[in-house]
Structure 1
Amino acid sequence: MKDFPAAYQVSEGSALDLDRAFYGRIAGETGGRTLVERFTIPIRTGRAWEVPAGHVFRIVALEGPQVGDLNIWNRHDPRERLWAARTRQLQGAHVTTFDRLWSTLPFLRPLATITADSLAGYGTDAYGGRVHDLLGTRCDPYVNKLLTGQDFHFHCHSNLVRSVLPFGLTEFDVHDVLNVFQVTGLNHDDMYFMRDCPAQAGDHLEFFAEIDLLCALSTCPGGDLSVPLWGPGARDPIDVCRPLGVEVYRLDPALVAGWSSPGVAPYRGGHGLHAEKGWWETGA
């Protein structure tokens, strides 16, 4: 099968032209970091936390393979949040070191940049699967009810809903996720598939916060996804569920000297609408 060029190409000086040396130093020069917060998210639960701009946060597999579903918002305006679809287009359907997570319109800027990925060497497996998935989204009780007729209250969507309530957010703020440590792909019928999680104890994915963030993570009730969740052979995979850890670090000020948060997208064109005319009248 021939390769085909990506639609969104990186040109020098563009928003996609990343300063890899800067982010490489953040990943490599860890001696000056200060641990700000560390906590464990038990199985089939969720938790939200804040990350100031210029800090890094790390998601860690503590005891072995486990998938986590991640949401990210602007801490000061939750209307700005992770835009999984545009991130897929700009970066890839699976992300790794030096990829960025982009925010929704009309903001459209990097929320976070991946600085370290212990599973970067996974590459593409024999089935075409890759790790850290943006193709799919969170499991939820609505689909589960449709497929099984049963209520289950600890899907990732529900875990995320509960986790953000203390921050004034609701179910309507929960959005499409980055599936951390999850291997997925599309089969020959163009159908989404999930494979066993490859993470082992100590594996991690690390992010640099480009703006002040609110993050939330669910420990997926499917655990390491080695057990079918729906269809023939489905059973409760609680035996393959494990906790995840989160660490937040303040960086050595020298590492981020001269850095500043990216501004929102510069487009201010008004979408072709003119205030001096009726809203239905458009033109150049």
Structure 2
Amino acid sequence: MKPIPLSKAPIDAAQRKAIKPVLCYPVETLPRPDIGAYRAVREGLKHVRTVVVPARDAATFTVPAGSFFRIVSTEGPQVGDLNLFNQHDLSERFYTGKTRALNGTHLGVGDQLFSSFPSLRPMATITHDTLDWYGFDEFGGSVHDVIGTRCDPYTHNLLSGGGQYHHCCHSNLTRALSASTGLALHDAEPHVHDVLNVFMCTGFTRDTGQYFMKASPVQPGDYLEFFAEIDLLGCLSACPGGDCSAEHSSDTAKCYPLLVEIYEAAQRPEGWVAPVVSGYDRTHGVGV
């Protein structure tokens, strides 16, 4: 519960609160993908490999630019935490904050996942979602959010009074990235970043504004599909919270594996070109 305000409301409080909001980022000029062109090439997809993400653990995978990949629910309801990197440069990685600012709190078909500064370009485009029927529920919850960070051992330690839990998503992603790249564990950890919470159902409470989770609607066979805009290194954790209906960072939830299926397209979407890095000159006003 938020504390009672200590300051007396000013006489014009109602007028101040009644001011209409303004969108931070008007996106009318944001280049949008031709989702019809992307979907037109889905019919000829060729499955090339599958990566199994064990329950309560993580795995990495690579996807060439122009290919598709799916995150698939298998044996039961399970959410996943996704990190994405430029396969050739780990410093270019998924930027949840800017993706949220440009697309909204929860992602769906046609939304693009943007990379970090200074590149700021689409890394992947969502092309299909078997949970797109969910929308927003009566609590303000929806799926595939870019508002949560990832469950981690530091917050767990803080809230539990010193507990040590090693299979939360942050640690899972760190171990998997270390094993994949050959980086030492402590060198790999700084590359792990805020995630796309795949299949997770989340929102904010209306009274206190707190981040909430509820049982994911995902069922075996559901999947979220992406088109790789650049060569990608993905890292996916099968969250120890299972469907996140009760808690995460524990061994009590029922958890299941996830699959990552990579597909080769017979042709590129009509008109598609690989996204270039940001055109900003990076002088930051010096010498101008």
- Describe how 1:155-174 pairs up with structure 2 within 5 A: 155-165=168-178, 166-169=180-183, 170-174=188-192
What CA deviation, in whole Å up to 9, does each residue of 1:187-226 have, x standing for no partner?
1211110111110010000000000000000000011112
Give 1:175 deviation, angstroms: 0.3
Rounded Cα–Cα distance in structure 2 between residues aligned with 1:107 and 1:17: 17
Give 1:100 deviation, angstroms: 0.4
Contact 2:27–2:102, Cα closer than 8 Å, also in 1: no
Give the equivalent residue in structure 2 for 1:144.
Answer: 156
Give 1:10 deviation, angstroms: 3.2
Give the equivalent residue in structure 2 for 1:280.
Answer: none
Rounded Cα–Cα distance in structure 2 between residues aligned with 1:101 and 1:237: 32
Q: Does 1:82 align with 2:94?
A: yes
Give the equivalent residue in structure 1 for 2:272.
Answer: 259
Aligned to 1:272, the other structure's residue is in SS state: coil
Give the equivalent residue in structure 1 for 2:256.
Answer: 242
What CA deviation, in whole Å up to 9, does each residue of 1:208-263 have, x standing for no partner?
00000000000000111122348xxxx7433x21111110001012x435522100
Which shows bigger deviation, 127-136 or 166-175? 166-175
Aligned to 2:38, the other structure's residue is in SS state: helix
Alpha-carbon distance change, 229 to 35 in structure 1, aligned in 2, over 3 angstroms: closer
Q: Does 1:6 align with 2:23?
A: yes
Rounded Cα–Cα distance in structure 2 between residues aligned with 1:2 and 1:53: 45
Q: CA RMSD in A?
A: 1.9
- The letter of the residue matching 2:143 is V
- The letter of the residue matching 1:47 is A
| Aligned equivalent of 1:113, options 125, 137, 141 | 125
Rounded Cα–Cα distance in structure 2 between residues aligned with 1:4 and 1:121: 28
Give 1:93 deviation, angstroms: 0.7
Alpha-carbon distance change, 221 to 252 in structure 1, aligned in 2, over 3 angstroms: same
- The letter of the residue matching 2:53 is I
- The letter of the residue matching 2:87 is R
Aligned to 2:32, the other structure's residue is in SS state: coil
Give 1:40 deviation, angstroms: 1.6
Count of aligned pairs between the two proteins: 264
Contact 1:10–1:17, Cα closer than 8 Å, also in 2: no
Mark the runs of 5 or more structure 2 residues left unpaired by the alignment.
1-17
Alpha-carbon distance change, 3 to 75 in structure 1, aligned in 2, over 3 angstroms: farther
Give the equivalent residue in structure 1 for 2:246.
Answer: 227
Rounded Cα–Cα distance in structure 2 between residues aligned with 1:155 and 1:24: 35
Give the equivalent residue in structure 2 for 1:49.
Answer: 61
Deviation >6 Å, runs of 4+: none
Mark the runs of 5 or more structure 1 residues left unpaired by the alignment.
275-283
Aligned to 2:133, the other structure's residue is in SS state: helix
Rounded Cα–Cα distance in structure 1 between residues aligned with 2:222 and 2:213: 19
Q: TM-score, normalised by structure 1?
A: 0.88
- The letter of the residue matching 2:36 is A
- The letter of the residue matching 1:114 is I
Q: Does 1:178 align with 2:161?
A: no
Rounded Cα–Cα distance in structure 1 between residues aligned with 2:152 and 2:116: 22
Give the equivalent residue in structure 2 for 1:207.
Answer: 226
Alpha-carbon distance change, 18 to 8 in structure 1, aligned in 2, over 3 angstroms: farther
Identity of aligned residues (%): 47
Alpha-carbon distance change, 3 to 272 in structure 1, aligned in 2, over 3 angstroms: closer
Give the equivalent residue in structure 2 for 1:279.
Answer: none
Q: Does 1:93 align with 2:111?
A: no
Alpha-carbon distance change, 70 to 252 in structure 1, aligned in 2, over 3 angstroms: same
Contact 2:51–2:61, Cα closer than 8 Å, also in 1: no
What CA deviation, in whole Å up to 9, does each residue of 1:132-161 have, x standing for no partner?
011111101111111112111100001000
